[in-house]
Amino acid sequence: TPAATTLELFEATAHPSGYGEGTLFVPTPWALLEGGPNDTDATAGSFEFSFPAGSLAAGDWLTATATDAANNTSEFGPNRRVLDPPEPPAPVTIDGRVFEDIVGDHLLVGAVGDPDNPLTPGVTVDLFRELPQEVWSHPDLVTGTFVSGALSPTGEPRFVSRDSFDRVPNLVSCADAKCDTVTRQFAGTSPFDTGYYTDIAIASDGYPVISHYRADTGDLRIRDCNGPDCSPASDRQIDTGGDVGLYTSIGIPPSSDLPVVSYYDATNGDLKIHRCDDSDCTSGFGFITVVDSVGDVGRDTDMAIGADGLPIIAYYDVTNTALKVAHCDDTDCATATITTVDSTNDRGREPSIAIGYDGLPKITYYDASADRLRFARCDDAACTSSTQTTLTLAGVGPVSDIEMGPDGFPWIAYESGDTVYVRYCYTDSCGSSFASPIDFGGDIEGQYLDMVIPPATGTPVLGYYDITEGRFTITAITNDPRAGSTGVATDVTDGLGTFSFSGVPAGEYWVSPRSSTVTPSAGLTTSPDTYHAEQTYGPSGSFCEDGTGTWVGPTASADACYGGVEGDEDDSTTSLISYREHLALVGAPVDATVGDFGFSFNVVTRSHNGVGGFAQQGSLDQFIQNANTVVGGNTMRFVPRVPANSFGGGGSWWRLWLVSALSDINDGGTIVDGHAFNPDGTDRDTNTGTLGTGGFVGVDNIGLVPVDKPELEIRGSQLAFLDAGGLSPDGSEVHRISIHGIGDPAQDLIYADGTAPLTGLEVTSSIIGSAPGTFAPSPGAHRWGVGLNAVDGTLVTGNLIGFGERGVQLTGSASVIIQGNEIVGASKDGVDGYYDASNVTVVENLIRDSDDFGIDMLAGNSVIRNNTIDNNGNGAGQTGGIRLYEAVHLVEKNIVTNSGGPGVLVSGYDSLVV
């Protein structure tokens, strides 16, 4: 800024994306003189200043003017937003859980943001430029003017353009939504000068109908295709009354399925419309109506079929240099409601119109006086009133096209400075948007361009004419980063976890943190295991697995994003974008803000069977390794983002079929919880119903609750809780899983063993020894359902345990409670308390069908109360309901029936109360 310049700040009253008019916001005494008393920056030509308290609020928009020493005042500058001051860190709660491992806060392109969450330092964040993909270009240098596009009934793009050599409209058909395969229909050579101002519509039978202008005779013509590839086709003249047929636009109202064409009558300066009498436009000349004849009107027509099924036409009024709209009152347009939308200066050339999901027309058009692109959002179906916005800075060419994306927001294609741009709007009013250039080297001009948006991709496919290279080009915008994105920059989050990229040109970008660099804020233990966090949350623009094997995105707002882009893939650990799993697509028209990426070391999102060094991100084994390495307790959160892979008993669930053993659980407070959740935090109960007998047990008729069928099945590996490397899994839990099928008769399904006694373990609400669909023996053998060695203070409750050598086995353990379980079909004892165990409480269980004793209690000081013990002791040698060794037992209120021997067998010890 030159010396002695005065800067005055104003409240911005125009839209924040523009350069706006303003009202005086800061009182005149606060106008700032460069180098004056309020300028705290001593550098010549630079301002730094502060405002008095209360004069600004977060969210205010400001603009400014500068006045030099000669009293020359500038136009208003770009609008800028007042940001919140930094806030003290506070935990972030997502789905009712507190996550402290949050990456990123603000990405401000060209500026630095302020942190408002506790974030993770040292995370590598990469920025990639999203590139459109040129998928096809015609090699001839004479093809491709007057481009128009439409979608087939199954969503594949079709483009028609004029072949300048053969002087006919030619059709290009894409075999898929992305135009990976393209065919061109050759229409032959015409002796006439046809193919100008082409437009295309697709009838309900899938056959194209093409309107165009014959220049040598000044006629409107329609080419009716007799097949989806327009071969053969019939070309018919429709209106020959003078020089007619320029600026054609064609549509097909679904109510009539009859083509309707709007066009310009140059002889009379009128807007006209033609409605065919049949789908082939063969019955006479159809119905022709003069829609508007006041002045020279009707150039640059573009027509859409409104939500009411009637044509609505945007066009340019040459006489009044204005944008006008005609809404037909019927399909013939015998009468129409005509509205001048924008008559300021010379506005309204080259309009494009589309109908939003709200049923309201949206229009882009050219402001010739300011050389800018404008946008109008109609307030009603006829556009009798509207709100207009300037979308671009000066230097934009006149041609644009607008189409509605599947999210209901507009996409706009236009030419600026010999480059085609695509602009995506975040709102249906286009109040917030970004533009991405399509540039493949050299000058690319979109003098003739049109755009379609296939529902399968939700992103545009453009057809346009490259004037410099003289070729017709089709370019697809893809939201797949693997289709070709270029690395721009890399940053590492600072001590507050923020990252920023400066000096980045306007455009569309992928922002991607590398999850392999996310470190636990709680610190690391001595475990040699490896850690790898999984994504749980993403900013607006994220791409997230939807749980069916397909990603969705870009998201309209920040939300839960479990598992990243693909639920069954690992995040790449390299700087390449290929196989990146944590991505947000960010538009940066000016400074842009990216929200938070959330990660957790506790979430399980997939049913992959890798273990140890081959454990996959988001897998159960990776959670176990994370729990071993992260200081403090870790509670597993099961949010499956892959389809269920097992079915039976009327339900579905996620099976981990392991070929190698899961990692041992070593650290305290590790909770393996198979309770499934949706990303929004609601229960995901795909395996409805219960397993188990239920009913009542014991003399006191204590209710025995059947076990809810779990959604997580572990097959082929035990869960082992072992102390190692100075770590001890005290206070760990197993909840709501199915585990079975180890295939090793020497291993227990759930096993805990301490060199010094472990404490405080719990095993609850699980199916142990069977798949979760139907309770039945598993093909793979195991030893004990729950095996406890040197584990004190354990609770085993609410489980259905069966089909092993023993249901629950205790050695060297004290103060164990076995309560409310159903224990079935043991080949030896249902519950076995060995000699070196003590203070065992067995209450309120149903123990049945054991070959040996229902309860074989060699441990001392046990309490056995209110159990039902039925049909046990029918094997060889040990035939009874309960056997008691050692001393000091209390056995009361049990129902013992159908035993192969004594109901209660006391083996030679005293101090027993039965």
For 572, which DSSP code? P
Helix, strand, coil tally for the chain in percent (to 5): 0, 45, 55
pLDDT confidence tier of residue 112, bands split at 50, 70 and 90: very low
* CA–CA gap between residue 399 and residue 644 (Å, rounded): 49
**Lookup: tokens for 390:** 């300037």
Give the pLDDT confidence score for residue 57 in this predicted structure: 63
Q: What is the pLDDT of residues 532-572, one digit of tens each?
A: 999 988 888 888 999 888 888 788 888 889 999 888 888 88
Name the one residue in this structure whose structure tokens are 């949206």. 362
pLDDT confidence tier of residue 198, bands split at 50, 70 and 90: very high
pLDDT confidence tier of residue 574, bands split at 50, 70 and 90: confident
Topology, domain 133-477: Neuraminidase (2.120.10)
Task: Give the pairing of strands 738-740 and 712-715.
Answer: parallel
| pLDDT for 16 beyond 50 | no
How many C-beta atoms lie closer than 10 Å to residue 15's C-beta?
A: 18
Give the pLDDT confidence score for residue 778 in this predicted structure: 83
**Mean pLDDT within 826-853:** 95
**Lookup: tokens for 351:** 């309009």
The residues, ordered by sequence, that sit 6+ positions from 614 with a Cβ below 8 Å of its Cβ are none
**Mean pLDDT within 248-275:** 94
pLDDT confidence tier of residue 98, bands split at 50, 70 and 90: very low
| pLDDT for 29 beyond 50 | no
- What beta strand segments (E) does 820-903 contain? 822-824, 831-833, 838-843, 846-848, 855-857, 862-865, 868-870, 882-884, 889-892, 895-897
Q: What is the pLDDT of residues 665-691, one digit of tens each?
A: 999 999 999 999 999 889 999 999 999
Give the pLDDT confidence score for residue 504 in this predicted structure: 62
**Mean pLDDT within 177-190:** 77
Average pLDDT over all residues of the chain: 84
Which is more confident, 907 or 297?
Answer: 297
Give the pLDDT confidence score for residue 358 in this predicted structure: 87
Tell me whether residue 633 is exposed, middle or buried, using C-beta atoms within 10 angstroms of its C-beta: 0 to 12, 13 to 18, 19 or more. middle
Name the one residue in this structure whose structure tokens are 């572990």. 714
**Mean pLDDT within 438-467:** 76
Task: Give the pairing of strands 603-604 and 831-833.
Answer: unpaired
Weakest-pLDDT range from 97-101, 236-240, 635-639: 97-101
Q: What is the pLDDT of residues 37-82, one digit of tens each?
A: 667 666 666 667 666 656 666 556 677 777 777 888 777 666 665 5
| pLDDT for 87 beyond 60 | no
Rg (CA), the chain: 37
CA distance to 202, 527, 603, 781, 842, per residue, from 631 (Å): 63, 10, 16, 36, 34
For 815, which DSSP code? E
The residues, ordered by sequence, that sit 6+ positions from 908 with a Cβ below 8 Å of its Cβ are none
**CA dihedral of 13, 15, 16, 18, whole degrees rounded to 10:** -100
Task: Give the pairing of strands 637-638 and 603-604.
Answer: parallel
* CA–CA gap between residue 806 and residue 77 (Å, rounded): 80
Which is more confident, 233 or 15?
Answer: 233
Best CA proximity match to 410, nearest among 429, 391, 397: 429
Give the pLDDT confidence score for residue 97 in this predicted structure: 32
Name the one residue in this structure whose structure tokens are 């573009």. 302
Three-state SS for 834? coil
Q: Identify residue 271 by its one-letter amino acid code.
A: L
* CA–CA gap between residue 825 and residue 831 (Å, rounded): 11
Q: Cβ(107)–Cβ(592) under 8 Å?
A: yes
Three-state SS for 612? helix
* CA–CA gap between residue 556 and residue 405 (Å, rounded): 13
Percent of the chain with pLDDT over 70: 81
Best CA proximity match to 895, nearest among 828, 858, 841, 845: 845
Q: Identify residue 200 by its one-letter amino acid code.
A: I
pLDDT confidence tier of residue 312, bands split at 50, 70 and 90: very high
| DSSP assignment of 133-170 | EEEEE-S-TTEEEEEEEEE-TTS-EEEEEEETTTTEEE
Best CA proximity match to 275, nearest among 334, 342, 318: 334
**Mean pLDDT within 314-323:** 97
**Mean pLDDT within 504-529:** 83
Where residue 370 falls (left for φ over 0; alpha for ψ -120 to 50; beta otherwise) is: alpha
Which is more confident, 298 or 232?
Answer: 298
Best CA proximity match to 417, nearest among 439, 433, 449, 432: 439
**Mean pLDDT within 779-792:** 93
Q: What is the pLDDT of residues 478-516, one digit of tens each?
A: 665 555 566 777 888 776 677 777 666 555 678 888 888
For the chain, how many residues are written?
914
| pLDDT for 638 beyond 90 | yes
Name the one residue in this structure whose structure tokens are 């990603």. 551
* CA–CA gap between residue 557 and residue 680 (Å, rounded): 14
Weakest-pLDDT range from 47-56, 418-427, 438-447: 438-447
Give the pLDDT confidence score for residue 486 in this predicted structure: 61
| pLDDT for 724 beyond 90 | yes
* CA–CA gap between residue 131 and residue 438 (Å, rounded): 7
Task: Give the pairing of strands 233-239 and 219-225.
Answer: antiparallel
* CA–CA gap between residue 375 and residue 450 (Å, rounded): 17
**Mean pLDDT within 380-405:** 88
